[in-house]
Amino acid sequence: MKIAVDAMGGDYAPEEIVLGAIEAVQSDKYDVVLVGQEDKIRAVMKRHGVSESKRLSIVHAGEVIEMDEHPAQVIRKKKDASIVVATNLVKEGECDAVVAAGSTGAAVTAALLGLGRIKGIERPCIATPLPTKKGVSVLLDSGANSDSKPKHLVQAAIMGSHYAKYIFGITTPKIGLLNIGAEATKGNELSQAAYGLLEQTKTISFYGNVEGRDIPDGIVDVVVCDGFVGNVILKFGEGIALFIMQLVKDSIRTGGILAKIGAMAVMPAFKKLKRRFDFTEYGGAPLLGIDGSFIICHGSSKAKTIRHAVRVAGELAEQDVVGHIRVSIEEEEEKEKRDESES
């Protein structure tokens, strides 16, 4: 398996991206192709005492997409941009998956134009793993689409179900629809319409509505919502986690000698807790619905995130999650046709 990594995307590119790729090939079985400005990539590799090899190679791409550039316009204009070239490597069969940090809009646009959607998928979505009391739940859409239709949420549920099954090993993932109450009649028009459709979807295990406070409890394995709400939840969760950790640190720092002694005693537990809330452990979020394996990382991603993202990208391709989604979408389309003909 070869993973194409956009070496020029993100706040800390190319240094941290290249370093993460180096760590990935040293710790895992997947090969990495670094895509970007060759001289800059080689300079980073040289600083870390690493040379190009069969497992860690370079493909030159002369242009870079900046965070403030309009994704749709710039992707069509900059044909030699690193994210475009990386995506084309998958399209041409030279690589099996893409890892990209930086502009989410640019990544989504490059994936749509370069790889296209799985037949039948109307909108791709971003699936983000979230830590819970029971392990992990998948939130989608977490930012690809600000406005959704009921069918988009149904397709998100199908895609999220396969991701949870084949990447996190959950045999029959429970799907929850994010809402303001548990009753089927709760919520806006989108939620109520989506509820009815999800109940009729045979390829998933629909639990029903879940509220925001239910997510950390891990009541369901997949939480479905539109991208606007999902992104707000994601960013709020990140902020709360950092806020709590900072409160703990401040309390220890200002609590005197007894607080410091107590902190030393519970330090192993704190470290374990921090790992559970550390988004870098999950590596990134897959863009599901695209006809190829594509991982989007946070713009502030450093080496650790990229290393894990390469692993997740490899697993996504290896488990053929795209293929499983394709089969389920075909089944749903056939069911819709039968229902229409019978009515």
Q: Which pLDDT belongs to residue 278?
A: 59
3-class secondary-structure state, position 121? coil
Look-up of token digits 């045979």: 202
Q: Which pLDDT belongs to residue 75?
A: 83
How many domains are contained in the chain?
A: 1
Q: Does residue 309 form part of some domain?
A: yes
Q: Which pLDDT belongs to residue 131?
A: 87
* SS3 readout for 49-80: CCCCCCCEEEEECCECCCCCCCHHHHHHHCCC
Span of 79-88, 192-201, 333-342 with lowest mean pLDDT: 333-342
Confidence band for 99, pLDDT divided at 50, 70 and 90: very high
Residues 6+ apart with CB under 8 A from 274: 245
> Residue 54 corresponds to which tokens in the numbers above?
């069969």
> Residue 174 corresponds to which tokens in the numbers above?
């429970």
3-class secondary-structure state, position 313? helix
> Residue 290 corresponds to which tokens in the numbers above?
């695209």
What integer is the mean pLDDT of 131-155? 90
Confidence band for 272, pLDDT divided at 50, 70 and 90: low
One-letter amino acid of 264: M
Q: Does residue 282 form part of some domain?
A: no
Which comes out higher in pLDDT, residue 148 or 257? Answer: 148
How is the beta sheet containing 56-60 ordered, strand by strand?
A: 56-60, 31-36, 2-6, 97-101, 293-297, 285-288, 125-126
Q: What is the CATH number of the domain that holds 89?
A: 3.40.718.10
How is the beta sheet containing 222-224 ordered, strand by strand?
A: 128-132, 135-140, 222-224, 174-178, 205-210
pLDDT > 70? residue 279: no
Confidence band for 16, pLDDT divided at 50, 70 and 90: very high
pLDDT digit string, tens, across residues 29-57: 999 999 999 999 999 999 999 998 999 99
Confidence band for 251, pLDDT divided at 50, 70 and 90: confident
Q: Which pLDDT belongs to residue 71?
A: 75
Average pLDDT, the chain: 89
Residue (of 142, 278, 131, 132) closest to 219 by Cα position: 132
- How does DSSP assign 228-275, residue by residue? HHHHHHHHHHHHHHHHHHHHHHHHHHHSHHHHHHHHHHHHHHHHHHHH
Are 17 and 305 contacting, i.e. CB atoms less than 8 angstroms apart? no
Give the orientation angle of helix 82-91 with respect to helix 104-114, to 10 degrees.
30
Q: Which pLDDT belongs to residue 18?
A: 96
* Range ranked top by mean pLDDT from 158-162, 232-236, 241-245: 158-162
What integer is the mean pLDDT of 189-197? 94
Q: Which pLDDT belongs to residue 156?
A: 96
**Rounded CA gap, 228 and 141, in Å?**
8
Confidence band for 282, pLDDT divided at 50, 70 and 90: low
**Rounded CA gap, 329 and 203, in Å?**
9
Q: Does residue 184 form part of some domain?
A: no
Span of 26-35, 162-171, 210-219, 325-334 with lowest mean pLDDT: 325-334
Confidence band for 298, pLDDT divided at 50, 70 and 90: confident
Q: Which domain holds residue 302?
A: 1-121+289-319
Q: Does residue 178 form part of some domain?
A: no
Rounded to two decimals, what is the model's pTM?
0.88
**Rounded CA gap, 250 and 270, in Å?**
14
Q: Which pLDDT belongs to residue 78?
A: 86
pLDDT > 90? residue 121: yes
Q: Does residue 188 form part of some domain?
A: no
Q: Does residue 254 form part of some domain?
A: no
Q: Does residue 85 form part of some domain?
A: yes
Q: Does residue 193 form part of some domain?
A: no
